[in-house]
Structure 1
Amino acid sequence: MGGIVGVYGYYNQQPAQEVLIRKMIQAIKHRGPAEAGEYYDQELALGYRRLGIPAKEEEQQPQFNEDHSKVLVLDGEIYNYRQLYQYLRGKGHYFQTDSDAEVVLHLYEEKGVDFLGDLEGMFSLALWDKRARRLILARDQFGIKPLYYWADGYRLLFASEIKALFQDQSVARELNPRSVADYLAYLYVPAPRSIFLGIYKLPPGYYLLCSPEGYVVRRYWDIEPSPQAEEEAEKKYQQTLLNLLLESVRLSLSNDNGMPIDLLLSGGLDSAILLALGQRLGAALRGYTLGFKEAELDERSPARLLAYYFNIPYQEGIGDLKLMMRRLDQMIQFYDEPLGEAAAILTYEIASQAAAQRQIQTAISGDGGREIFTPCYRYGLPLEGSCLKQHGSAAVVDFCPQAGGVRRGRAAGWFSRLFQSRPDLAEDSLARICFNSMVCFPIEEIERILTEDFFHELGGYDPFILFHDLYRKPNSTEPCSRLQYVEMKTYLPDNVLARVDRAAMANSLRVRLPLLNSKLVEFWAQVPIRVRLKGTEERYLLRKTMEGILPSAIVWRKEEKIESPLRNLLLAESSLMEEEWFQDVWRSPLSEILNFDELNSLWQRQQRGKYDQSRQIWAVLFLCRWYHQHMSRTSGCAKEDAEPALVAC
């Protein structure tokens, strides 16, 4: 656990520079303050930072096989490495340590690149095959651990964080215009792009294979949302789900040798499931909750109920919104890309207080559960009936502004007849409806908020294109299944998991996410929609499964969205004033990117109180603060370069 970096001169075979690799290692020191490791082999260099939890000599990296022909650096943990260890021992492999990194090396010896499909955990890795002169980069199925790369046709650089790549003077600090548009639409930058031109994220479930012939990015795992047509008894689904949840929690707790594990207890269903199942498995769990004096944000009451019900050690911290705003710039220095949801500052505060006040080193969290089990949560779309698709024509009327002046019954009938003759239009319309229901700035507003010159650099690009392509990719025609796929490919890795990783690493905290288990998610994707949800309850099957295991008040508790109240409260606590805010933008190079007049209009609409523009204002505020920390005054933007082709295996 920590961070990895590396350089491979795959084309020109120039010797790797030790000075560069050490600068890259130093740039991510916060991810692993315990110690550093490095390895050199002519045109290749690998670097590693270790977090130091737990401090075991055999976990030092880089890790080698017996004859040093294969080398590995690994950020993260392989939860099922003990099972893989036994399998490999049975195949005749000899081990020198008890580390998951050595297991990965031997698994590669046994299976080649197919070894990735056997790994369960959170990881990004770089594996060097010395004899084949081949480098493999890989990222876990969900994107819990980050991995960025840059290539110029001669060399490949990679790192856990972008700041390490900038240690090479050849890597330009230039904004990608399309990524800026993506940020304004999604409030994050979806993979494979990053906010910077020429720097890419390795997508979750993919690996990069690099040799003297070049490099290619390929997929090794994907979810296929295709709910079964034949339904089984609901009780059978519940039992299978419970067994998979238990196994997921067991794997995430199995390598701690009985040491106490802290649970980041939110009071919601996801963290409650971890508590109940962890205790059933005999884990020594301790609860920690961050509370607030503001009732809209405070979850101490349900967290206390859970701690009392399961009789676990429990501790609380208190968050101060004013102090959180004062520490905003401190937080942003760890975020190499802008994250425009206010929840990012909350995640950072939880990690900061947990590590500093309670000296927590290892924690488990329910993050990711909402995106897996409640994919329609963010979209505010109707769930009545067995699936959204059954209400497609009515949904278009309800959610399309163009239908505002049309009588609802006649409009629904017209759309219904149209969709029967053109089902492709029905799918595209639902995709557009879903996108519009969650987007921050649609392309029409992006055109107004960007300067004319900067908008021209988009070359006709619309952030909806990415959403549309992902929405249409699954074989299933169920909108809820399609949204699950979109959430897992975008919002989950590039927003939720990005903020969890950066916040945890900034505070030397290891956070495991047991609900992100490939077998669990694969099962859930096959469960019929009519079994998963009932009426407007999208978590019906999950809640029914936990009946009798959790208190009823927790199982059926309605979980409120905190993003909007948190954002408004943070803005209210901010010392930000209109003149200070816009003068700051006007004086900066951002005036070449953002339209000052439109920002002023945005602010005025918020001040009048007729429309809630807090989401848009917070997004621009975060972008401005991020820009001042991560971009030089001479940086600008450049034209879009050729993106790497992603290959499905």
Structure 2
Amino acid sequence: MCGIFGWVLGPAKHQDRETLIKLTDLMLHRGPDGAGYQLHATADERFQIAFGHRRLSIIDIGGGAQPMSSEDGRFTLIFNGEIYNYVELRQELVGRGHRFRTNSDSEVLIEAYRAWQLDAIRRLRGMFGFALWDEREQRLILARDAFGKKPLFIGELEGGFLFGSEIDPLIQFPGFSRDFDSEALGQYLLNRYVPGPATFFRKLKKLPPGHYAVWQSGTLKTRRYFSPPVSTALPDVKSFHDAISLFQQAFDDAVRIRMRSDAPFGAYLSGGIDSSAVVATMVRHSTGPVQTFSVGFRETEYSELDHARVIARQFGTAHNELLVEPDSFFTHWPTAVLRRGAPVSETSDIPIFLLSEMASRCVKMVLTGEGSDELMGGYPKHRAEQWIGLYQWLMPRLLHDGLIYPMVRSLPYGMRRVKILALAAGERDLPNRMRLWFGGTSVAEAEAMLERPLSATPPDVYPYSSGLKSSLRRTLFFDQTSWLPDDLLERGDRMMMAGSIEGRMPFMDTALAGTVARFPDEFLTGGKGGKTVLRAAMDKILPPEILRRKKVGFRVPIGEWFRGPYRDFLQDLLVSDSSSLAQVIRAPKLRRLVTEHLNGRQNHEKVLWSLTNLELFLRTFKVST
């Protein structure tokens, strides 16, 4: 787990080694254990190639330094992530006659590319963003893992480009444009995050998940190599008993190979079924107590610490807890925005950042439960989507818009989830409905804020293009291609690496995803709370109070804090004379949202969270709006 940074520059843009070191070292938090830098030219001396690397040492601590070159000097690699099946790949490559000087997964990646070229990427079970220079072919390969657990940004320059794990080093490159992408602003209001490949910077894009890019002779071409199995696999598992058995085998393997480490590791434990299943499986493969880490709040209705303790006691873990106070939360918030390189989409980002700082004092890697809901149908929307068509058939658009919508809009403060359900149920447009499920603003509301027409077309239509007849699979496909890579997995990478700790996510295993995609819809959402197969698989392993818990998500009492100790903070960010948002959002609209929330008439915490983060982002990055 590391941070990478580099460039390909034409003759007029060449930079010195000091620039490479300075910008790479902005990611010290991603790799405090070591660094490496390399500058060289293409054979025709037209282009300068730069590789910078910050290392968090987990696999082959003594032998995995980067940039890493092959023994014959043909290949040079900088790599962020882990290849979990590197042991199996290494054995196969040794059988083909390949030789290894280290025990690192980085060298396995180099030799896999030597053996299979670009097809090697499809063989990797892991999370990664890497750059590999092939000296003989004079080409550079950039690649990002299947689900987008690891980031890789590409910055456009005249006569070349930049690439890296985080945004901050790229935008600090001499002469790089910080021009604001106004279309990204509209997408942010609709989604609460900027969908890829866009960012808030016009000249900076994300390499999409499941893609690689090849640069050769001055041209960069991008290609998709992976699509989520839910879009292609047939639901051919007929027996629920067989589904449980197949899931147990695949999940056990996904956890087992993610425990490969030469450094101490543990798990984040929330007390929900997902992280509890991970911990229970880790205990099966561990020779000693598993270290677990949990975070909570004094506001008990938001804290899951009691539930986490139940699991910690049952499985005898070495348990650690962190209580997040408002002052610590707000102190770390600007740093979270800096590390994310964007507004922080979820309030839970910051507690994860704080927990990562604490956990990194005794471990270097943790397993987490992210991705379970998006893989196995755990959100209420996954069940609700199956009834949307019927509702819309029974409820004509005019009746919904004229009667239901106004009535729902006036519901009191505590009815936020009911409002989201009712508003989403009436939305006929699939992209807009997917956005509304997670509390984004409607197109009409966003246009009112911006005082201009808004293109509701997403920058990438792929998440909405599956053409699947199953409403569940259609929604899971969106979750796995937009919501996960551009929000939750982005949070997992940026906030954990901000605390110098690696996060591994067994539910995001491609082999496991292929297994689950074979299950019929009713095996996923057929029971109360969804994730039916997972609950059945854990029935004899986890206690009933964990299995039967109502899904609450990772909630932070930000609405209460905004109305309480940080009331003035909210008003300063959004409605004071110093607010940068006044340049892009209507001031009367901002004042109304703040006033209604503070006096308790409406719960606007999600949109206020989005807007306050946008303000902090504009101040932090001094974007040219």
TM-score by length of 1: 0.86
Provide the C-alpha distance between the structure 2 equivalents of 1:177 and 1:392, rounded to a whole number of angstroms.
Answer: 34
Matched residues in 2 for 1:111 and 1:199: separation?
A: 31
* SS of equivalent residue, structure 2 residue 300: coil
Question: What is the deviation of 1:134?
Answer: 0.4
Q: Would the aligned equivalents of 1:39 and 1:46 in 2 still touch at CA under 8 Å?
A: yes
3-state SS of paired residue (2:374): helix
What is the match of residue 570 of structure 1?
561
Q: 1:595-618 CA distances to partner (integer Å, 9 max, x unpaired)? A: 112111222222343322121111
Percent of pairs identical after alignment?
A: 27
Paired residue for 2:217, among 198, 207, 212? 212
CA–CA separation in structure 2 for the residues paired with 1:175 and 1:447: 18
The reply to whether residue 605 of structure 1 matches residue 572 of structure 2 is no
Matching of residue 520 in structure 1 with residue 512 in structure 2:
yes
Q: Match for residue 164 of structure 1?
A: 169
Describe how 1:174-193 pairs up with structure 2 within 5 A: 174-193=179-198
Matched residue type, 1:361 = K
Equivalence for 2:274: 270
Shift, 1:15, TM fit: 4.9
Letter in 2 for 1:558: K
Give the CA deviation at 1:111: 0.6
Deviation string, structure 1 residues 119-151 (Cα, Å, up to 9, x no partner): 111111000001111001111111111110112
Return the offset for 1:46: 0.8
How far, CA to CA, are the matches of 1:579 and 1:516 in structure 2? 36
- Separation of aligned partners in 2, 1:172 and 1:529: 47
Q: Tell me the equivalent position of 2:44.
A: none
Matched residue type, 1:281:
H
Task: Give the distance between the partners of 2:139 and 2:549, measured in 1 at CA.
Answer: 52
Q: Which residue of 2 aligns with 1:41?
A: 40
Aligned CA distance change for structure 1 residues 480 and 583 (closer, same or farther; 3 Å): closer
Structure 1 CA distance for aligned equivalents of residues 173 and 144 of structure 2: 23
Instruction: Give the C-alpha shift of residue 302 in structure 1.
Output: 1.7
Farther-moved stretch of structure 1 (326-335 vs 614-623): 326-335
| Mapping 1:109-128, distance limit 5 Å | 109-128=114-133
2-structure distance, mates of 1:87, 1:557: 44
1:40-59 superposed matches below 5 A: 40-42=39-41, 43-53=48-58, 56-59=61-64
Determine the C-alpha separation between the residues in 2 that align with 1:263 and 1:430. 36
Give the unaligned 5+ runs of structure 1.
409-425, 637-649
SS in 2 for 1:3: strand
Aligned partner of 2:75 among 70, 85, 95: 70
Q: Distance in 2 between matches of 1:399 and 1:128?
A: 58
What amino acid maps onto 2:38 in structure 1?
A: Y
Q: C-alpha deviations, 1:546-596, integer Å up to 9, x for none? A: 111222222222222343x63313324543328952676533443221211
1:224-623 counterparts in 2 under 5 A?
224-226=229-231, 228=234, 230-256=236-262, 260-284=264-288, 285-356=290-361, 359-374=362-377, 376-377=379-380, 379=381, 382-383=383-384, 388-389=385-386, 392-395=389-392, 402-403=399-400, 429=429, 432-450=432-450, 452=451, 455=452, 460-462=454-456, 465=458, 469-470=461-462, 472-563=464-555, 566-577=557-568, 580-581=571-572, 586-623=577-614
SS for the counterpart of 2:302 is coil
For 1:596, give the aligned amino acid.
Answer: A
Shift of 1:428: 5.4
> What aligned pairs does 1:79-118 form with structure 2 within 5 A after superposition?
79-118=84-123
SS in 2 for 1:57: coil
User: Structure 1 pair 281/593, CA: closer, same or farther in 2 (3 Å)?
Assistant: same
Relative distance call for 1:200 and 1:406 in structure 2 (3 A) is closer
Further displaced range: 487-496 or 605-614: 605-614
C-alpha distance in 2 between matches for 1:436 and 1:583: 23
CA shift for structure 1 position 299? 1.3
For residues 185-236 of structure 1, give each alpha carbon's deviation from its aligned partner in whole angstroms, at most 9, with x where no partner exists.
1111111011111100111111111111411111111114256355521100
Check the 8 A contact 2:377/2:531 in 1, yes or no: yes
Task: Report the residue type matching 1:569 in the other structure.
Answer: E
Structure 2: distance between partners of 1:529 and 1:346: 34
CA RMSD of aligned residues (A): 2.7
Task: Write out per-residue CA displacement over residues 156-206 of structure 1, whole angstroms, 9 at most, x where no aligned residue.
Answer: 210111111123223111211111111111111111011111100111111
Task: State how far apart, in whole Å, the 2-side matches of 1:401 and 1:121 are.
Answer: 49
- Matches of 2:571 and 2:533 in 1, distance apart? 50
Structure 2 counterpart of 1:461, one-letter code: S
Give the 3-state SS of the residue equivalent to 1:111 in structure 2: helix
Q: Which moved more, 1:338-347 or 1:158-167?
A: 338-347
**Structure 2 residue aligned with 1:23:** 22
Aligned residue for 1:266, secondary structure, equals coil
Distance 1:476 1:583, change over 3 A: closer
- One-letter code of the match for 1:100? D
| SS across alignment from 2:507 | coil
What residue number does 1:418 align with?
none
Q: What is the distance in 1 between the residues matched to 2:478 and 2:511? A: 19
Shift of 1:153: 4.8
Deviation at 1:476, TM superposition (A): 2.3
| Displacement after TM superposition at 1:399 (Å) | 10
Aligned mates of 1:54, 1:65 — CA distance in 2: 18
CA gap 1:22/1:434 in 2 versus in 1, 3 angstroms: closer
CA shift at 1:320, angstroms? 1.1
Q: 1:246, 1:277 within 8 Å by CA — same for their partners in 2?
A: yes
Give, in whole Å, the separation in 2 of the partners of 1:406 and 1:333. 44
Q: Contact conserved, 1:16 with 1:40, CA < 8 A, in 2?
A: no
Query: Is the CA contact (8 Å cut-off) linking 1:250 and 1:281 kept in structure 2?
Result: yes
> C-alpha displacement at 1:514, in angstroms?
1.8
Residues 136 and 439 (structure 1), Cα distance of their counterparts in 2 relative to 1, 3 Å cut: same
Contact 1:335 1:502 in 2 (8 A): yes
Q: Which runs of 5 or more residues in structure 2 are unaligned?
A: 42-47, 406-425
The number of residues matched between the two structures is: 597
Match of 2:102, SS state, is coil
Alpha-carbon contact 1:37-1:47 (below 8 Å) kept: yes
Q: Distance in 2 between matches of 1:173 and 1:289?
A: 38
Query: Post-superposition shift, 1:274?
Result: 1.0
SS at match of 1:225: helix
**Partner SS for 2:321:** strand
Contact 2:580/2:619 (8 A) holds in 1: no
Could you tell me which residue of structure 2 aligns to residue 197 of structure 1? 202
Change (3 A) 1:7 1:449: same
CA distance in 2, matches of 1:397, 1:626: 44
Deviates more, 1:566-575 or 1:23-32: 566-575
Distance apart, 1:398 and its partner CA: 6.6
